[in-house]
Amino acid sequence: MARFDTHIQIIPEADYTGLKFYSFAYARSQKVSGIQKLVNLFAKCLLTPLGSDPLDLSYGTELTRLIGSNITPRDASEVLLLAVEAAAKTIQAAQTGRDVPSSERLQSAVVTQLIIIEDSQGFAAQIYIKNVANQQLTFLLPTLEVRT
């Protein structure tokens, strides 16, 4: 059974010129490839609850278990670091032995900044992704906003 993922690319609000957020119908879809596709793959793995994929129970991380928990944001940073490490290992293992372009092959993923949000008892994080082609992109969790 083949598995397909649909990838999206976040566009700046100023560039948005339509009423539809997403469509397969009359508007042409834009192919997402390279470092943006790698970031999408990584974010999907990071935000998928471990054991929730019926085709691969080892896919995903424990990060989403933080939602609704009573752990402090400062203590959650360790869970985040472990989840990023687990997602990186999962992606790298899946890419091993496959014909994946170097622009979509993960070299490393690192949390570069943890932002504690005291008012809402939450946090945000900047995650730095680097591919084998030495391209890099930083995205902000949870919004997936790309920072250059």
Does 66 reside within a domain? yes
In a domain, 131, yes or no: yes
**119 inside domain:** yes
pTM across the whole model? 0.78
Q: Would you say residue 59 lies in a domain?
A: yes
114 lies in a domain? yes
9, part of any domain: no
Domain with 103 in it: 31-147
**Which pLDDT belongs to residue 2?**
46
pLDDT at 118 (0 to 100) = 76
- pLDDT of amino acid 37: 87
- Per-10-residue mean pLDDT of the chain, 148 residues long, equals 54 54 50 83 92 90 87 85 96 94 95 85 89 92 73
CATH of the domain at 71: 3.10.450.40
Question: Looking at the DSSP assignment, which residues form a beta bridge with residue 108?
Answer: 130
Based on the structure, what is the number of domains in the chain? Answer: 1
